[in-house]
Amino acid sequence: MIRSPQNQTEWKAYFELRFDILRAPWGQAKGSEQTTDEAQHQHFAFFNDANQIIGVGRLDQTAPKVGQVRFMAVAANQQGKGIGKAIMDEIQAVCKAQGCLQIILHAREVALPFYQKLGYQLVEPSHLLFGEIQHYLMQKTLDA
C-alpha cells in the first residue's frame, strides 16, 4: 500500500528511511534528510504487509504543470522488488491527475538505468552531492 504517513510514528519511520539510505552512508548529520518546507509537498510511503515503511518518495510542484520527484529511497534489503517502481507509478498518476505535463528529477548515477526503464530521459549532469555523488537531470513528458 502506498500513502502518505499519517501519524508521528509513521513520519518518524519515513524520515529514518530517507536518512538511512540517502544520508547516513555519506556521514551526513541527522536532520539533513529533511527540508524546511516538507509540509508543502506530497509524500509517498510504501507500507509492507507488516505496516512497515520500506520505500519513500516526495513530489514537489516546481513550476506550473511540472512536478519534481525528490528523496526516493527503498530499504536496502527490499531493493529490486518493484517497490521503487510502484512509488514512481503512484507519483506519476498523482502528478498527471493534478495536470502536470512533465516530471523532472535529479538521479544519482547508479539510479540512471532504473529511471530510464520508467521512460525518463537523461538531460544533462546536474549537481555533485556531498562532493562525490554525481546527479543527472532527467525528465519525462506525460500525456495530456
What's the CATH code of the domain at 44? 3.40.630.30
CA distances from 123 to 104, 107, 112 (A): 10, 11, 11
Section 39-64 average pLDDT: 96
Q: Residue 128: pLDDT band by 50, 70, 90 thresholds?
A: low
| b/e per residue 52-72 (b: at least 16 CB within 10 A) | ebbbbbbbbeeeeebbbbbbb
Q: Residue 144: pLDDT band by 50, 70, 90 thresholds?
A: low
| Total of domains in the chain | 1
Domain that holds residue 88: 2-141
Does the pLDDT of residue 132 top 80, yes or no?
A: no
Give me the pLDDT at residue 135, please.
85
C-alpha cell at 23: 544520508
- In this prediction, what percent of the chain has a pLDDT beyond 90? 82
